[in-house]
Amino acid sequence: MTSPAKGRALSALVAGGFLLGCSPILVRISELGPIATAFWRLALALVPLVLLFARSGASGPLPSTAAEHLTAALPGIFLGGDLATWHLSLHMTSVTNSTLLANMAPVVVTLVSWLFLRQRISGAFLAGLALSIAGVIVLNSAGVSKNSDSHLRGDAVALVAACFYAGYFIFLSRARTVFSTPVVMLWSTVAAAICVLPLALLFEHTFMPTTLAGWAVVLALGWLVHAGGQGLIAFSLAWLPPTFSSLTLLIQPVVAAVLAWIVLNEPLQGPQVVGGAIVIAGILLARRTA
């Protein structure tokens, strides 16, 4: 891959990570329950995704066989599980706990890539991974509740979300080797919405927003975070390996911490500033091997 192409892919990945970092705040201020919020996040994202597909989706191969449709849609099954569990955890534990644990996906991605996909992991990458994870832990240490037992179930749900998120990354990367970004984003988003819809109808008391502010929140989640953020990530995965990509997205807790300070008046403490710097240092170290 040429340097300009690599630079564009990395820029898209970082921008996507920044947009996804806005998710926790938007989920917390949504007037809907966590699973209904997840559904509308996906359903509303279909509007720009369909437009993108209509404009450029036919420029590459389209799924034709059942196996090809599954390849394009399979990331969405894991995405639906990730969003449902992560949104739920954000209402069960603190934003910092949930964001930290849900973004442990790089650990799962690295282990799966090494154990099952035979992908070689360099010492420098592992060092960058360890440094970034340490930074995330430091970043969130100031926000951990003293009464952590009350958040145990929420923390466990966030860890389940991390496993779903890891599966999403792995299968999204595989789908992008066959299909274009518009195809993969549209097929996977439809699959995710179909998976989340029955859960929202079954478990949520209120299914649709009732105010303009409520619609604005889910529109931001759908158009900016999902169509924009996930679309940029899907674009970058055509060139960047999933292990490095998932590591770079550890920038999400950094963004979440800053936004929690600005929007929710949660002060950004010293450990959080230090942790953010460590995360960036780990990303730069890992980048040298990507």
Q: Which pLDDT belongs to residue 254?
A: 78
Q: Tokens 């179909």 sit at which residue? A: 194
Name the CA dihedral angle for 283, 183, 176, 24, rounded to a multiple of 10 degrees: 30
Name the CA dihedral angle for 266, 144, 168, 184, rounded to a multiple of 10 degrees: 0
Structure tokens at 35: 């699973």
Residue-wise pLDDT tens for the chain (290 aa)?
456 667 788 888 888 888 988 889 999 999 999 999 999 999 999 999 999 888 875 567 888 889 999 999 999 999 999 999 999 988 887 776 777 778 777 777 776 777 776 677 777 777 877 887 787 777 666 555 545 555 667 778 888 898 898 888 888 888 888 888 888 889 999 999 999 999 999 999 999 999 999 999 999 999 999 888 888 887 787 777 766 666 666 778 778 878 877 887 767 667 767 877 787 777 667 666 55
Q: What is the DSSP letter of 222?
A: I
- Are 72 and 63 spatial neighbours (Cβ–Cβ below 8 Å)? yes
- What's the whole-model pTM score? 0.79
- Are 19 and 224 spatial neighbours (Cβ–Cβ below 8 Å)? yes
Q: Which pLDDT belongs to residue 259?
A: 84
DSSP codes of every residue in 21-60: TTHHHHHHH-SS-HHHHHHHHHHHHHHHHHHHHHHHGGGS
Closest Cα to residue 177, out of 233, 238, 230?
Answer: 238
* pLDDT tens-place string over residues 217-274: 999 999 999 888 888 887 787 777 766 666 666 778 778 878 877 887 767 667 767 8
